[in-house]
Amino acid sequence: MPMLIDCKDKPGHLQLRLDTRERHLAYLDKHKAKLMAGGAVLDQEGHPKGSVLIVDTDDVAEAQALADGDPYAQAGLFDSVTITPWRMVYFNFENRL
């Protein structure tokens, strides 16, 4: 069963996110074989306030290691990281980005 990694940014740390973004994207690209989906969580103004990753693993420790190795996490961006088993029930492939 896949794992959902829900990362909430520390308030007032948008610049840290922007400064670390390229390393974060390179890290995700390195691990793309395990990634089912991912992206930023936005506030009402459209600014990133966190991240969500869905990882193809049923091993919480593997998901935790992936989360811990993320340059965003290593830079101290996140206020919290929660890892939860996730089951896809519905996905509309016709409306994907």
- The per-residue pLDDT for range 82-93, each reduced to its tens digit, is 999 999 887 766
DSSP string, 10-42: PTT-HHHHHHHHHHHHHHHHHTTTTEEEEEEEE
Structure tokens at 10: 């520390």
Give the C-alpha distances (Å, rounded to integers) separating 77 from 13, 38, 93.
Answer: 7, 17, 32
Would you give the end-to-end CA distance of the chain in angstroms?
Answer: 24
What is the number of structural domains in the chain? 1
CATH of the domain at 32: 3.30.70.1060
Does residue 1 lie in a domain region? yes
Does residue 26 lie in a domain region? yes
- The predicted pLDDT at position 47 comes to 94
Is pLDDT of 23 > 80? yes
- The predicted pLDDT at position 95 comes to 63
Report the DSSP beta bridge partners of residue 65: none
Does residue 11 lie in a domain region? yes
Name the residue range of residue 26's domain: 1-45+63-78
